[in-house]
Amino acid sequence: MTKDPLRIVHCVRSPIGGIFRHIKDLALSQAAAGHDVGLICDSSSGSDYDNAIVDSLRPHLSLGVARFPMRRQLSLQDLAATRDLYRHVRDLKPDVLHGHGAKGGAYSRFIGTVLRLQGQKVERIYCPHGGSLHYDPNRLEGRVYHALERLLLRMTDGLIFVSDYEYAAFETKVSRPTCPTRVVYNGLQPSEFSPVEPASDAADFLFIGMLRDLKGPDLFIDALHNLELQTGRRPTAFIAGEGPDEPKYRQMVEDYGLTDTVTFLGAVPAREAFANGRFVVVPSRAEAMPYIVLETVAAERPLIATRVGGVPEVFGRHALRLIEPGNVDHLTRAMRTALDTPAAMQEAAVRLRQCLAETFSVELMADRITTLYRLARGESPQDETVDQAAPASVRHGSAYARTSNPS
């Protein structure tokens, strides 16, 4: 238990997907260490499955769980949301406001700045989790969001990135960080490092993730259709997850005549879903540091994934196995190879898992983030290294290397 507990408030827009998994694990670890922790998130998004996870946090967070309407896109309603969030946060008197994602980061840093002007000492911490960094800097939308990020950087006391890729994207699209900065990989619980065996009636392939184009379910369905056209075989598949584009994917399955071989499972815990497929497919077009890749590797399940975001950092020396994002032909070829060489795929899964547990742990993740809070507050935790913004050759020294060299 910590001798000097902090009052920490996490803020995120949508309580779904990998970003919320990160926040849940971090908040619970911080609460277990003796800190007072609270959570703020959107009240208008999330399925029953997601909302149940939010509600499960309430007994553990002494600063409570509060939900307010927050829109994904910029709108005039953001003014009312900022007012309501400010009133709530002001009364909590936090030491740390930790914003996650573009919207959560904007709310936290703006409100934290107002509180500072009123004399309250509060550190403003931001983790993009991809967010605005996914936008193309050459398009209008990207230029707008990146300009806002540059403005908000002036209101930031600490930056956390979940992969080297994310750090580099921020430096390239936004600006070189001017505050204490640290790359901290997402972490898993020790129990997640036990292998999961496929069920006797497992399908050939499993897609698990948010059902939106960014994650590539459409590419997965296209590849299944291509396999039938090329080989005459009809591979079976499960699609696990929920999301705004689900009706479109169901229509694709129907149009391709795959309704008897492709089944939608809805939202399912990852380790439960893993038993439903012989090979896991993660065909994302963009990522920061996807939990599903970490969970799949830890469960020792054969994995087909794209070379996006921090995924090569997970694969390390095995990164040549990754495929080009957005390329259906490459995805089809990789899935066909998996069907033809299942033993080789399983051997590769065993090798990939070997170095994961030490690098991607919840304990290390929470420690690295909480000590950054201390550094932002001007404290000097023992056995910790200050990771100021610096070239990669410098940042990869000392304690940082524990979280940035998975291979």
Q: 214 and 350 share a domain?
A: yes
Domain-embedded: residue 377: yes
Question: How far is Cα 273 from Cα 276, in angstroms, rounded to an integer?
Answer: 5
CATH code for position 281: 3.40.50.2000
Same domain, 35 and 174: yes
What pLDDT sits at residue 2? 82
Per-residue pLDDT at 380: 75
248 falls within a domain: yes
Residue 221 falls within a domain, yes or no? yes
User: What is the full DSSP assignment across 198-246?
Assistant: PPTT-EEEEEES-SSGGG-HHHHHHHHHHHHHHHS----EEEE---TTH
pLDDT tens, per residue, the chain with 407 residues? 888 999 999 999 999 989 999 999 999 999 999 999 999 999 988 889 999 999 999 999 999 999 999 988 777 788 989 999 999 999 999 999 999 999 999 999 999 999 999 999 999 999 999 999 999 999 999 999 999 999 999 999 999 999 999 999 999 999 999 999 999 999 999 999 999 999 999 999 999 999 999 999 999 999 999 999 999 999 999 999 999 999 999 999 999 999 999 999 999 999 999 999 999 999 999 999 999 999 999 999 999 999 999 999 999 999 999 999 999 999 999 999 999 999 999 999 999 998 786 689 999 999 999 999 999 999 876 544 334 333 332 333 223 323 333 33
How far, in Å, are 145, 222, 266, 401 from residue 314 at the CA level? 28, 26, 27, 14
Q: Are residues 329 and 376 in the same domain?
A: no
Domain co-membership, 211 together with 122:
no
343, 358, 373: which is the final residue of a domain?
A: 358
| pLDDT value at residue 382 | 53
pLDDT of residue 86: 97
Question: Are 270 and 238 contacting, i.e. CB atoms less than 8 angstroms apart?
Answer: no
Structural domain range at position 74? 7-187+361-403
Whether 354 and 373 map to the same domain: the answer is no
Using only C-alpha atoms, what is the Rg of the chain?
21
Residue 236 lies in a domain: yes
Identify whether 1 is part of a domain: no
Q: Does 208 lie in the same domain as 322?
A: yes
Regarding whether 347 and 252 lie in a shared domain, the answer is yes
CA distance 110 to 153: 11
| 165 and 209 housed in the same domain | no
Write down the pLDDT at residue 225.
98
* 327 and 367 assigned to the same domain: no
Has residue 2 been placed in a domain? Answer: no
77 and 219 share a domain?
no
Place of tokens 């590769």: 348
Q: Is there a single domain that holds both residue 183 and residue 305?
A: no
Strands 65-68 and 181-183: unpaired
313-338 CB burial, b ≥16 within 10 A, e <16: bbbeebeeebbebeebebbbbbbbeb
**The predicted structure's pLDDT at residue 77:** 84
Total count of domains within the chain = 2
Per-residue pLDDT, 381: 64
199 lies in a domain?
yes
Residues 236 and 216 in one domain: yes
